[in-house]
Each structure stands twice: as C-alpha cells, then as structure tokens.
Amino acid sequence: MSQLLIVGINGSPHTRGNTAFLLRQALEECKKLGAVTKLINCQQILKDQKNPFCIACASPCPGKCLNGKHLGTAFELISRADGILAGSPVYFGTASAQLKAFWDKGRSLRADKKLLNVVGGAIAVGASRFGGQETTLRAIHDMFLVQGMITVGDGYSEHDCGHMGGAAQRPAEEDDNAISRCKILGKRIWEVAGATRNLRIR
C-alpha cells in the first residue's frame, strides 16, 4: 500500500513565519508516522498569476489560470493528497487574502471532485490569545466543506487537537500549547486519512 500524502498549505505572506512554523510541526508528526509530506506557500504560488483573484471568467471553470503556472503544479499536488493542513494568520477575524485567493482559484478542482473525501485540518495564528482564531478556523473549514472534504476537529482525550483545530498566539514558537495541539492535529489527519483511504477515487 502506498504512503499517505499530506500537504500543508501556508496562507501567510511569510514563508518562515508563525503559520509556516506550526504547519511544519504538524507535518513532521505525519512524516514520523510514515506519510509523505509537502508544504506549499500561497504567496509564492500566486506570483505568476496575471490576476491573483478568481474573476469567474467562465462556467464551468476551464482552468485557464492553471496552465503552465505554479498554481497548476500546486493543484495537481493537492489533488493527489490524502490529507490537507491549511494554515492562516488572522486578518480582520478571518483567513488571509492569500489563502482565500488560492482556494478561490480551485473551482476546477471542485467541478472534477478532486478533493472529495480528502481529510482537512486547520491552523490559525492571532496576535492575541482571543484574536479571531476560531472564526478563521471556521472560514477554512467552510472552504473544505464546499470541496466535499472531511474536516478534522476534536479527538479522544489523549488526542485532542482543539475543538476546531490548532489555535495559536504569536510568536508561535513560544506557544507550547499550540505546538502540542498542532502536532496532535497532524496525527489526527494521518489517522483519519488512513481510515478513509478507500473513499477517495483516484
């Protein structure tokens, strides 16, 4: 049986910031359990887009903005994923523009059911302890649900990643609770992705 593929999506404009740090913590746990892991940065993926925002140029989506672009490579990767960990800093109580722009371009993924039954987990980082993390996590969950993904939240007492996912206060490297929860989230993604492998049609 092939290894599980778990992909991290960094919705922060910073490739080495708080969000990326926590995504790497979660992905490292998946790797320890035997998964293949990849981390992509939305900011870099969108750099070669003529228009970084979806303008719904046609329906159904012809995927014109994917051909020969970084976005096409990224979408090909996540369409093979068993699990996706998406992270974002909190911007005005919700997900970053970078993550939203990346996800909005995924209309063709939805049309082709590429992410159906892929397991998803969310991570959010705010400037304060109660700085909009839960609303940001919920926004990411909504993105998952529209793609037909399976969303991971709370778990057994010894595997409790938090009600909605990993919520952190910056600087993330000093938030021991968030680091622990994000590692558990990685384990939960791996566990549920393995249990649901047969539900994904590839």
pLDDT at residue 157 above 70? no
Residue 157 lies in a domain: yes
Residue 202 lies in a domain: no
**Average pLDDT of the residues of the chain:** 93
What percent of the residues of the chain are helix, what percent strand, and what percent coil, each to the nearest 5? 40, 15, 40
- What pLDDT score does 160 carry? 60
> Which domain covers residue 170, as residue numbers?
5-197
- What pLDDT score does 32 carry? 97
The kind and range of the H/E element at 151 are strand 150-151
Residue 16 lies in a domain: yes
* Number of other CB atoms surrounding residue 40 within 10 Å: 18
Which CATH number does the domain housing residue 90 bear?
A: 3.40.50.360
Q: What is the pTM of this model?
A: 0.94
Which ranges constitute the DSSP H helices of 46-128?
A: 70-78, 97-104, 107-111
Residue 180 lies in a domain: yes
- Across the range 6-13, mean pLDDT stands at 98
- What pLDDT score does 156 carry? 64
Report the sign of the C-alpha dihedral through residues 192, 195, 201, 202, in that order. Answer: positive
Which ranges constitute the DSSP H helices of 89-161?
A: 97-104, 107-111, 133-146
- Across the range 39-59, mean pLDDT stands at 93
- What pLDDT score does 153 carry? 81
Confidence of residue 62 (pLDDT cuts 50, 70, 90): confident
DSSP 166-181: EEEESSGGG-HHHHHH
- What pLDDT score does 98 carry? 97
The DSSP symbol for 187 reads H
Lowest mean pLDDT among 22-31, 79-88, 115-124, 164-173: 164-173
The single-letter code of the amino acid at 102 is F
Between residues 159 and 68, which one has the greater pLDDT?
68
pLDDT at residue 155 above 70? no
Confidence of residue 22 (pLDDT cuts 50, 70, 90): very high
Q: Is the CB of residue 109 less than 8 Å from the CB of residue 73?
A: no
Cα separation, 113 vs 13, in Å, equals 28
Query: Counting beta carbons within 10 angstroms of the beta carbon of residue 99, is it exposed (0 to 12), middle (13 to 18) or buried (19 or more)?
Result: buried
- Max CA-CA distance within the chain? 48
Report the sign of the C-alpha dihedral through residues 9, 12, 15, 17, in that order. Answer: negative
Cα separation, 167 vs 177, in Å, equals 9
- What pLDDT score does 127 carry? 92
Residue 161 lies in a domain: yes
Into how many domains does the chain fold?
Answer: 1
Q: Count how many residues are written for the chain.
A: 202
pLDDT at residue 202 above 90? no
Residue 56 lies in a domain: yes
- What pLDDT score does 201 carry? 85
Cα separation, 49 vs 68, in Å, equals 10
Residue 129 lies in a domain: yes
